[in-house]
Amino acid sequence: MANIAAQRIKREFKDVIKSEEMAKCAIRVELVDDNYTELKGEIAGPPDTPYEGGNFILEIKVPETYPFNPPKVRFITKIWHPNISSVTGAICLDILKDQWAAALTLRTVLLSLQALMAAAEPDDPQDAVVARQYKENPEMFRLTARHWTAVYAGGPNGNPEFDSKIHRLTDMGIDEDQARVALSTYNWDLVRATEQLFS
């Protein structure tokens, strides 16, 4: 790793670890190996959101060209959010793309991601299916996002009705994650989800 990038990320890494603000927001970061090119981030779901009580793991890859280019960040923990791919964990956030500036830091990125979880931008989606549900059926979006948080991020509030629909599909030989995605996509309409899976 280029010297400037290594020095910079080391300093930022320490800032995040020591920061009281980060501790208060329940944001953590750790090294994956000892060379600072790959970090593991952890973000607590923000209060008063469907993600509350969940713990979300991030993969953070720091390029040689840091801080002149942004870190590559994606969600490892599956999440139902308009700006995060429910399949790959890719994130649509301007500061991770064309709005990146060398003055931004790891701390800024992590806080911005937590803020994005609390305030989605459905008009600039990463996941069009989720964004459509978010805009057209906000209550269904909330229930679905909370369900995904319970299942994948250890959040509270499981949903017995959703679980039983998933169970019906797994009994038909459908993979659990596949069943969950199909049901989530069709607003938990078992008939439509089944038709899509078996078409």
Catalytic residue, chosen from 92, 106, 153, 182, is 92
24: burial class by Cβ within 10 Å (0-12, 13-18, 19+)? exposed
Amino acid, res. 160 = P
Cα torsion at 128, 131, 135, 138 (round to 10°)? 130
Q: Is 25 a catalytic residue?
A: no
What is the Cα–Cα distance from 29 to 31, expressed in whole angstroms?
A: 7
193-198: which pairs have CB atoms within 8 A and are 24 or more residues apart? Answer: 193/165, 193/169, 194/169, 197/169
Bridge-based pairing state of the strands 38-44 and 72-75: unpaired
- Cα-based distances in Å from 1 to 4, 16, 75, 84, 101: 8, 20, 24, 28, 20
By annotation, the residues acting in catalysis are 92
